């Protein structure tokens, strides 16, 4: 951490199928893109918090990162997203807290762009 850095948080989300493969690959993709797009190094991350909708129960997103060899020394936490009638299904959300020199740009992937249409220009959605 640079002494001029301050604490920031950046959000993201990704839609997944309820399989180990889909959750594993898409959570890893989201995390990697958040770091790359925002020039964040893992050594600058304070913690990562995930939420996931109840229809995703094949794999914990924190476990997905660990299995992919990522975030080995980063504190990870996962929780259930509250059920909201009419809410988007099969979504993993992420809140990445880090020290840096600038605020981050959010990333929404694989259909999750619909969650924040106001940020689509800032997102590298796929």
Spell out the domain ranges in the chain. 6-122
Cα distance between the two ends of the chain: 31
pLDDT at 95 over 50: yes
pTM: 0.87
Rounded Cα distance, 53 and 126, in Å: 20
pLDDT of res. 125: 45
pLDDT at 87 over 80: yes
Distance of CA 81 to the CA centre of its chain: 13
Rounded Cα distance, 115 and 119, in Å: 9
Beta 6-15 vs 107-109: how paired, if at all?
parallel
Closest CA to 49 of 116, 106, 3, 95: 95
Rounded Cα distance, 71 and 28, in Å: 10
| pLDDT band, residue 1 (cuts 50/70/90) | low
The CATH number that domain 6-122 falls under is 3.30.1330.40
């Amino acid at each position: 951490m640079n002494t001029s850095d301050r604490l920031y948080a950046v959000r993201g989300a990704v839609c997944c199928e309820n399989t180990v493969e889909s959750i594993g690959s898409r959570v890893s993709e989201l995390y990697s893109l958040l770091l790359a797009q925002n020039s964040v190094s893992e050594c600058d991350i304070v913690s990562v918090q995930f939420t996931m909708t109840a229809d995703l129960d094949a794999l914990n997103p924190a476990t997905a990162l660990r299995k992919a060899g990522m975030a080995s020394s980063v504190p990870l936490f996962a929780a259930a997203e509250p059920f909201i009638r009419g809410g988007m299904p099969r979504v993993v959300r992420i809140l990445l807290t880090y020290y840096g020199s600038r605020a981050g740009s959010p990333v929404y992937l694989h259909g999750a762009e619909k969650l924040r249409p106001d940020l689509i220009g800032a997102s590298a959605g796929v």
